[in-house]
Amino acid sequence: MALSLQSLLILFTTLLLKQILVEAATCSNCFTPSRAAHYPNSDEQGTDVGACGFGSFGATLNGGDVSAASDLYRNGVGCDKGVTVVITDQGSGHNTDFVLSQRAFGKMAQTTDAAASLLALGVVDIEYRRVSCSYPNKNITIKIDENSDYPHYLAFVLWYQQGDKDITAVQLCETKNSVCKLLDRSHGAVWTTTSPPSGPLSLRMLLSGEDGDESWIVPVNNIPENWKVGETYDTGVQISV
């Protein structure tokens, strides 16, 4: 969601006129029928201006296997999610829930030749389900947004969130006195605050599961006192999958 970053969506499709019949189900691991299209001019990868706020990183995340989503975007909560695709944008078309990169769309086919035929269709019936995101050898990373203005305004995106939970709240804390401030979700996966605390800063992130379970995670590393626009900071922590 967060996006996620992040839980993932596995999408499968059959080729040409073959349709998949599914039974209505309520379990979290069951597949949901839907439809998917692809970005028409994406150069195989996703868009670098996605609504999640990932920028150019969002076009290459997960090797370019990314997607825009309609209802699953959930006002940005779905950005921390993640063929297997990661949600990096909001969008829909032709009664679809997903708009995939051409790379991801073609990988739903079983062969390279079949991928060309699948792309020619433009829109196909699919089934999807949510699965855990996995970023081996990566910690959750803070990317300071280009709209930040040190020291008056801080905005950032969280990259590489593993697992299948959503980041639903973020607190920014002064390391000297542990006073914390609840941040706003500006748009997509961008967290912001005016008049951020001074000194080295630590984060607290609230993870929420579909079963209602909630827990806070606290990074090992802090945001430095003299944080800079465009910089990335490794939190030193990751969610176990």
Residue 123 is given by DSSP the state E
Low-confidence winner among 2-11, 141-150, 175-184 (lowest mean pLDDT) = 2-11
Full 3-state SS string of 134-191: CCCCCCCEEEECCCCECCCEEEEEEECCCECCEEEEEEEEECCCCCEEECEEEECCEE
Q: How many whole angstroms separate alpha carbon 179 and alpha carbon 23?
A: 50
Average pLDDT taken over every residue of the chain:
81
3 state DSSP class of 60: helix
Q: How many whole angstroms separate alpha carbon 173 and alpha carbon 227?
A: 14
For 12-54, what is each residue's pLDDT tens digit? Answer: 433 332 333 333 344 567 888 998 988 776 556 666 767 788 8
Whole-structure pTM value: 0.78
Low-confidence winner among 115-124, 154-163, 216-225, 231-240 (lowest mean pLDDT) = 115-124
3 state DSSP class of 45: coil
**Quick one: average pLDDT of 221-233?**
97
Greater confidence (2 vs 89) lies with 89
Confidence band of 168 (pLDDT split at 50, 70, 90): very high
Confidence band of 79 (pLDDT split at 50, 70, 90): low
Alpha carbon of residue 237 to chain centroid:
18
Alpha carbon of residue 205 to chain centroid:
15
Residue 226 is given by DSSP the state T
Q: Answer whether residue 195 shows pLDDT above 60.
A: yes
Greater confidence (168 vs 110) lies with 168
Q: What single-letter amino acid sits at 173?
A: C
Specify the pLDDT at position 92: 72
Greater confidence (193 vs 48) lies with 193
Q: Answer whether residue 81 shows pLDDT above 50.
A: no
* Pair type for strands 201-208 and 32-38: unpaired
On whether the CB atoms of residues 162 and 133 are closer than 8 A, the answer is yes
